[in-house]
Structure 1
Amino acid sequence: MRIALCGGTGDIGEALALRWAYDTDHEILIGSRDPERARGKAEEYVTELDSRGVEADVKGFANEMAADRADVVVVAVPAYHLVDTVEAIGDRLDPDTVLVTPAVGMKRDDSGLHYNPPSAGSVAALCADAAPDDVSVVGAFHNLAAGRFADLDAEVEWDTLVFGDDADAKDIVTLLADEIEGLRPLDAGGLANAGEVEALTPLLINVAMHNEGMNDLGVRFQ
């Protein structure tokens, strides 16, 4: 399967690229608005994986080209870049493409970070509104500590909540998440539940900020 990570040069994009390339045989396409940056980061990832004895298939392209070649497209960009990115790649997506959003809207004040949903109600809803009508949107990978997740020496025992209205698309993302060692996907229902999932991220960051030794905090439901 071809997985494109639009914004694959950022924190969560890097973590997902490395983990999928390390744990699976999928072809990983790194996307960026700057194709040279995408190619440079893809080379970095290949070098890292090669040092661990893994021959990975990772290539860099402009976001549009990466999306055009992919079966699953993860829009791994901050919430404020999401609509522009989805609109830029929209004509490269077909009805069989699964579009995945891990983005969360947050704002900071003196008390910490707070969930800041857009007028659509959630970032996932914003993504669905920007995407072509025939493209399925799935939310996943919101509540992961990207720094630890990108460290292939670090063991993780985390859950990721997966939600969406298309059961088949959600199954595909669930299987892809389950292929990552230490990551357990859990079904969180439909897109209407996006806000509850997205709001966990600022909560986890606040807990990590105020408690020593919890800077790489994740969630595990028991």
Structure 2
Amino acid sequence: MSEFPKPLAIVGGTGALGGGLAIRAARAGCPVVIGSRTAQKAEAAAAALRETVPDADVVGLENAAAAAAGEMVVVTVPFASQADTLAAIAPMVGGKVVVDTTVPLVPPKVARVQLPPEGSAAQRAAKALGEGVRLVTGFHNVSAKKLGEEGPVACDVLVFGDDVDARQLVVDLANAIGLRGLHGGVLDNSAAAEALTSVLIAINKRYKVAEGAGIRITGLGEA
């Protein structure tokens, strides 16, 4: 497995996206800490993952405890839960790479781009976590259904952050779990991928894409 900080803590790991990332990381041999609002729910998800991947190194903890235990922390919660979740884990993640996957979807019109006043969910996360955190964003445009499947996924993961070394670690993570990670530039650029999620939802609806549409950047060969 590529070298990046591990164990990998997945805050909100009992949801669809978090669960998909957890199973892919476990299959790749990465120790995983699943976080949830309650330790019981997290451990139930960990037990289910161990049934699917019998040799998985996985435990379940309450979100703040999971964030404390992980060397890299991935936040996979809905936009409505982002602020409270980040506030809960902020004391635990100083100096760590935190990967925020949040997309500002506002029901019921989730197929319409609705970026927040701050400009993006990434900028909200930056304010919530403070300067001591190595904030990166990514995994906005990959469907949970695809993540739950075995084998490589023909989908690119655009990764954003002002800390280039931290960004590279998340690119490595994406590559290690069967996707293709690509540097998308600074944190401000995250707004483009966040907005694109609503576009993909509209495409899914219009063209009945059951597995979820993704993106692929052309012209890069095997990069």
TM-score under structure 1 length normalisation: 0.91
| Whole-angstrom CA distance in 1 between matches of 2:70 and 2:209 | 38
Given the alignment of the two structures, is residue 150 of structure 1 paired with residue 154 of structure 2, yes or no?
no
Q: Which amino acid aligns with 1:136?
A: R
SS in 2 for 1:170: helix
| Counterpart in the other structure of 1:60 | 60
Deviations 1:52-96 (A, max 9, x none): xxx11011000111111111111100111111111101111121x
| Whole-angstrom CA distance in 2 between matches of 1:63 and 1:132 | 19
| Counterpart in the other structure of 1:104 | 103
RMSD over equivalenced CA pairs, Å: 1.5
Contact 1:117/1:195 (CA < 8 Å) preserved in 2? yes
Equivalent pairs, count:
213
| Counterpart in the other structure of 2:171 | 174
Contact 2:34/2:58 (CA < 8 Å) preserved in 1? yes
Deviation at 1:205, TM superposition (A): 1.1
Given the alignment of the two structures, is residue 217 of structure 1 paired with residue 213 of structure 2, yes or no?
yes
Contact 2:203/2:209 (CA < 8 Å) preserved in 1? no
The gaps in structure 1 that reach 5 residues or longer are: none
Contact 2:146/2:211 (CA < 8 Å) preserved in 1? no
| Whole-angstrom CA distance in 2 between matches of 1:84 and 1:107 | 16
Deviation at 1:148, TM superposition (A): 2.4
What are the equivalent positions in structure 2 for 1:161-200 lying under 5 Å apart? 161-181=158-178, 183-200=179-196
| Counterpart in the other structure of 2:8 | 3
Q: Which amino acid aligns with 1:107?
A: V
| Counterpart in the other structure of 1:131 | 129
Deviation at 1:108, TM superposition (A): 4.5
Deviation at 1:216, TM superposition (A): 2.4
Deviation at 1:160, TM superposition (A): 0.6
Larger deviation, residues 206-215 vs 164-173: 206-215
Q: Which has the higher strand share?
A: 1
| Whole-angstrom CA distance in 2 between matches of 1:63 and 1:107 | 23
SS in 1 for 2:59: strand
| Whole-angstrom CA distance in 1 between matches of 2:166 and 2:183 | 12
Larger deviation, residues 25-34 vs 211-220: 211-220
Q: Which amino acid aligns with 1:195?
A: A
| Whole-angstrom CA distance in 1 between matches of 2:13 and 2:78 | 11
| Counterpart in the other structure of 2:221 | none
TM-score under structure 2 length normalisation: 0.91
Q: In the alignment, which of 18, 23, 39 is matched to residue 23 of structure 2? A: 18
Q: Which amino acid aligns with 1:60?
A: G
SS in 1 for 2:112: strand
| Whole-angstrom CA distance in 2 between matches of 1:9 and 1:39 | 9
SS in 1 for 2:130: coil
Percent of aligned positions that are identical:
35
